[in-house]
Structure 1
């Protein structure tokens, strides 16, 4: 065991060296610093600054969390973090921990690297694929965000939820990235509502999706993601019941995405409550997210890396002010 140069800002931590086939990897803990949220629905962020003299390739993620404590976690790659404090509030509309400042997760250059929820297991990337961070990358910091929907199970010493990053210094020929699709909008009381989003791909490279993840709160029944060619030729990327572990699931059929294709997602929400439920940050609100993890040749991931729409009732796949899509697979997009 030896000290890794990975962490610069907050000291040197011993890394564990292991063999993954022929690739030599090490593991680094990106964990909450014994955080103690006082209120449910708190969002906390904590950063690490990367060694910018070397380039690293993240090739796997081992979560250190339970759904009893962390509702969900995100790892952001940033050029600059929202703060350089060891801990800060980072939920824009969520409750605020007294005594801590409030900032976004990233100050600039934000991109999602990893997401976790519902006791999802570890994730390993395909051979030759890695998230490029450090010197030869725009990612100079990693920021962990944890959403504490409840504080009932927080240990007395504080919470250390987070993820162990598996990384290597050996150059990986394929760059990993994540495209996040989401919506605004609302679901009226006692209704079934489709939350839909789509964006046209602008990158000129061939994009290779290899994993997907879904995320809603309590009303989600099915989340599906699609590649749409020529606005009417639909191919399923993946779909899941979002109440299952919110891990990155492998894409079952090999596919490529190219410039001019549309990536589309739908969340089917069933609201049996006596009130309208809006998209928001707390567990009493809803979220509609579909994550597509992919690889491309070259050093840079695809931009833009997010795709958000207004959502229902004013935006839909085929609406006049919507995505302009046709031949919509309504039944398949909303059933498992």
Structure 2
């Protein structure tokens, strides 16, 4: 395995340049370096190092993949990558697994955060005008790591270069983008309709402006919904951020209510799962397992995104909104579980 030379600048290869609304935008081809997915349920990662002397703003994402090849892709921002290899095995729930072809490590060694996610032939994503993900000199993101989940192995003579075309600019953006991921652990019992739920109170003195959401489950997911909850003496107010059938293209969709979210507000998500199998299904990394994820993409004005990047609960049978420490009331059970 060749060691990846990490002293490569982000701008080594520029595919093209164009102007969007007077903004000079370039494209970087962030692709797998002709990898061989040699076994089922393989997660592979590849990194790029951002030039530490400049700031860059990612303003769009164009996927270069199909669901027949890649089950899903995640783009991580890292302070340090999980490995110095050019490619490594990075299934987060398989970190102790021995792979005779690729070394094994997590996507990030330090400073892990989600920047972008894709699945089910989702189309390109263009961020709102004036919004960008800051990477490089003044950002905690010093590396980007592309993770692809290959559900099925490839024939030995077939290699893959799936990935994403990053649209970026050097022009400073007045609004910095961020992503917070809501998810759960837990188990869906045999022949059971289950609600997998999570919630976190916002503790930082920041105002975030949500503009897009994305849902992700595997085969059992029927509806995924996300809310901002404002708890008042007169009763909780549940404002829908977005909900979607996760079997549809798992793209980022515009939020339903772009209400600003502040300290003291609660972010909450629910995945409605229908397990028709005669056996329980747990949260896990393979397609035979499940996942319950709600991604919220937002921007902040004149400041940095949230330090909190993740909001996870233990999931069923240990955690439900009805038993949460926040003491929720007026839970929108029907709305949260139906389209």
- 1:7 and 1:57, CA in 2 relative to 1: closer, same or farther beyond 3 A? farther
Indicate the residue corresponding to 1:3 in structure 2: none
Q: Distance in 2 between matches of 1:176 and 1:273?
A: 40
Are 1:309 and 2:313 matched, yes or no?
yes
Structure 1, residues 115-145: CA drift from partner, whole Å, max 9, x if none?
A: 0000000000001100000011110000000
- Partner of residue 268, structure 2: 264
Aligned to 1:161: 162
> 5+ residue gaps in structure 1?
1-5
1:328 to 294, 311, 331: 331
1:113 pairs with one of 107, 115, 129: 115
Task: Tell me the equivalent position of 1:52.
Answer: 52
Match of 1:253 in 2: 257
Aligned residues: 329
**Cα distance change, pair 236–105 in 1 and its aligned pair in 2 (3 A):** same
Give the secondary-structure state (helix, strand or coil) at the position aligned to 1:221: strand
Q: How many Å separate the matches in 2 of 1:312 and 1:106?
A: 28
Distance 1:315 1:45, change over 3 A: same
TM-score by length of 1: 0.94
| 1:14 counterpart SS class | coil
- TM-score normalised by length of structure 2: 0.93
Larger mean CA deviation between 189-198 and 155-164 belongs to 155-164
**Contact 1:132–1:299 (8 Å) recurs in 2:** no
Q: Report which stretch shifted further, 236-245 or 86-95.
A: 86-95
Question: Which residues of structure 2 form unaligned runs of 5+?
Answer: 1-5
1:93 match: secondary structure: helix
State how far apart, in whole Å, the 2-side matches of 1:244 and 1:71 are: 13
CA separation in 2, counterparts of 1:115 and 1:327?
32
Are 2:242 and 1:238 aligned?
yes
SS at match of 1:34: coil
| Range moving further from structure 2, 198-207 or 295-304 | 295-304
- What are the superposed Cα offsets for residues 152-198 of structure 1, whole Å, 9 maximum, x if unpaired? 5x793411111000000000000100000000000111010000000
Give the match for residue 42 of structure 1.
42
The equivalent of 1:148 in structure 2 is 150
Runs of 4+ in 1 over 6 A off after TM superposition: none
In 2: Cα distance, 1:332 partner to 1:324 partner: 19
Kindly state the Cα deviation for residue 274 of structure 1 after the two structures are TM-superposed: 1.0
Contact 2:241 2:258 in 1 (8 A): no
1:188 — aligned with what? 189
2:301 is the alignment partner of 1:300: no
Indicate whether 1:131 and 2:133 are aligned: yes
Instruction: Give SS of 1:37's match.
Output: coil
Moved more, 22-31 or 156-165: 156-165
Contact 2:14 2:27 in 1 (8 A): no
The change in CA–CA distance for 1:114 and 1:67 in structure 2 (over 3 A counts) is same
- Root-mean-square deviation (Å): 1.7
